[in-house]
């Protein structure tokens, strides 16, 4: 099921004076955070659980969610049903979970767009810092800058030179303002001193379909979605945004190697609405941890060029620390870069 509200997207502007620095933050602390929640959810779960994906089906968030949902359903003894609530750069889905009954039966998978949104949207219907209970961090991985097969450049260096020369004639798809794919375009634009024309989708699933069909020129997407298309020779891979190359696509250079450093590493986390009882939080978190230990899930992650966080870094308490740090980091980074809700893209 896919739904979309019509949140007015903010208008974004960039200043090239300041650079954005993106990196995954992961701090290892204990499990103490769960103790504070009220103990009300006896017999949880009493019905199927809805796992909200804030982007369209077929994209990287959806792929990770479906892997987890299948395993967590077995652990919890109730179906975990993925629901794609796409729109407004992921904020429509976040709002849906923020306003859901806090009983553990509606949860959210999200990535750094959740933390960047307060700096980019002035019409959010929830307070990001207080609306969610972090349940645990999931996976971390880089973005891959890709192009349609017919695009002229064949190497990363050629692509960056081409993108600069083309200016706004180059079209780049993204999953909405504040999504990873959108922030990657901003970073790339800053790095090369040019502004590609942005084409917004409800997720990189449909964006990738249009890239494969040649409807847009380029897309910077998570390795999770990009790698199957690269391996199928459906798109060109130019560069990965991690400090090191990915083993699974070893011939693709890093942006640094290509002389245009763009550092961007993303991570997913799982969230419940604030006020969810301790029993439900504990069971959901334990089910997530069980899924993360599964060899099959880790093998799938590896095949997408993404990695599970180590056990100590994916606890709810560690997630809470990293979540709060990222909200602050994004507010600062976007402000310094001159990216704000009132400016144009």
Shortest CA distance to 200 belongs to which of 190, 192, 210?
Answer: 210
- Tell whether residue 55 is a contact of ligand MLT (CB under 6 A): yes
* Smaller CB separation from ligand MLT, 146 or 181: 181
Q: Applying CB under 6 A, which of residues 179, 229, 254, 315 lies at the interface with ligand MLT?
A: 179
Q: Applying CB under 6 A, which of residues 7, 139, 181, 198 lies at the interface with ligand MLT?
A: 181
* Smaller CB separation from ligand MLT, 80 or 317: 80
- Tell whether residue 203 is a contact of ligand MLT (CB under 6 A): yes
- Tell whether residue 84 is a contact of ligand MLT (CB under 6 A): no
- Please give the structure tokens belonging to residue 260: 């245009």
* Smaller CB separation from ligand MLT, 156 or 207: 207
CA distances from 104 to 68, 99, 100, 132, 232 (A): 16, 12, 9, 11, 39
Cα distance between residue 196 and residue 151, in whole Å: 14
- Tell whether residue 87 is a contact of ligand MLT (CB under 6 A): no
Structure-token match 């997630």, residue found: 319
- Tell whether residue 180 is a contact of ligand MLT (CB under 6 A): yes
Three-state DSSP class for 218?
strand
What is the 3-state composition of the chain as percent helix, strand, coil, each rounded to the nearest 5?
A: 40, 20, 40
- Tell whether residue 277 is a contact of ligand MLT (CB under 6 A): no
Residues contacting 290, CB < 8 A, separation 6+: 71, 72, 75
- Tell whether residue 60 is a contact of ligand MLT (CB under 6 A): yes
Interface region with ligand MLT, contact rule CB under 6 A, candidates 157-165, 179-187, 227-235, 287-295: 179-187
Strands 235-240 and 106-110: unpaired
- Please give the structure tokens belonging to residue 292: 């993360």
Shortest CA distance to 289 belongs to which of 22, 58, 45, 75?
Answer: 75
- Tell whether residue 198 is a contact of ligand MLT (CB under 6 A): no
Q: Which of residues 204-223 bind ligand MLT (CB under 6 A)?
A: 204-205
- Tell whether residue 94 is a contact of ligand MLT (CB under 6 A): no
CB of 50 to ligand MLT, least distance (A): 17
Is residue 22 within 8 A of residue 133, CB to CB? The reply is no
- Tell whether residue 113 is a contact of ligand MLT (CB under 6 A): yes
- Tell whether residue 132 is a contact of ligand MLT (CB under 6 A): no
CA distances from 218 to 133, 146, 203, 235, 255 (A): 36, 6, 15, 9, 15
Q: Applying CB under 6 A, which of residues 7, 61, 229, 315 lies at the interface with ligand MLT?
A: 61
- The footprint of ligand MLT on this chain (CB under 6 A) covers a number of residues equal to 15
* Smaller CB separation from ligand MLT, 45 or 205: 205
Q: How many CB atoms lie within 10 A of CB 152?
A: 11
CB of 65 to ligand MLT, least distance (A): 9
Helix (H) or strand (E) holding 28: none
* Smaller CB separation from ligand MLT, 60 or 282: 60
Residues contacting 5, CB < 8 A, separation 6+: 87, 88, 92, 95
- Interface residues with ligand MLT (CB under 6 A)? 55-56, 59-62, 111, 113, 175, 179-181, 203-205
């Amino acid at each position: 099921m896919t739904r979309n509200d019509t949140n007015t997207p903010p208008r974004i502007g960039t200043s090239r004076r300041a650079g954005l620095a993106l990196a995954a933050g992961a701090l290892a602390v204990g499990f103490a955070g769960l103790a504070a929640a009220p103990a009300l959810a006896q017999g949880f779960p009493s019905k199927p659980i809805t796992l909200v994906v804030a982007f369209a089906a077929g994209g990287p968030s959806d792929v990770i969610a479906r892997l987890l949902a299948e395993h967590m359903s077995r652990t919890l003894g109730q179906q975990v049903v993925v629901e794609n609530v796409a729109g407004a750069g992921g904020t429509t889905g976040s709002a849906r979970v923020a306003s859901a009954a806090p009983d553990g039966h509606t949860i959210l998978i999200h990535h750094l767009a959740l933390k960047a949104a307060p700096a980019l949207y002035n019409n959010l219907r929830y307070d990001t810092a207080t609306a969610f209970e972090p349940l645990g961090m999931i996976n971390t991985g880089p973005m891959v800058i890709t192009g349609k097969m017919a695009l002229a450049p064949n190497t990363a260096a050629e692509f960056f030179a081409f993108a600069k020369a083309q200016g706004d004639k180059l079209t780049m798809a993204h999953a909405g303002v504040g999504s990873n794919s959108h922030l990657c375009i901003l970073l790339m634009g800053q790095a090369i001193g040019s502004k590609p024309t942005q084409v917004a989708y409800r997720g990189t699933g449909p964006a990738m379909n249009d890239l494969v069909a040649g409807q847009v020129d380029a897309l910077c997407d998570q390795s999770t979605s990009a790698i199957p298309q690269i391996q199928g020779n459906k798109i060109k891979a130019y560069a990965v945004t991690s400090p090191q190359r990915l083993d699974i696509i070893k011939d693709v250079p890093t942006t640094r190697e290509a002389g245009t450093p763009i550092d961007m590493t993303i991570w997913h986390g799982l969230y419940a609405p604030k006020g969810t009882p301790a029993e439900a939080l504990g069971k959901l978190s334990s089910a997530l941890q069980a899924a993360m230990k599964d060899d099959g899930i880790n093998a799938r992650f590896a095949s997408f060029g993404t990695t599970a966080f180590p056990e100590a870094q994916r606890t709810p308490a560690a997630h809470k620390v990293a979540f709060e740090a990222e909200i602050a980091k994004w507010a600062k980074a976007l402000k310094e870069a001159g990216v704000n809700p009132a400016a144009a893209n």
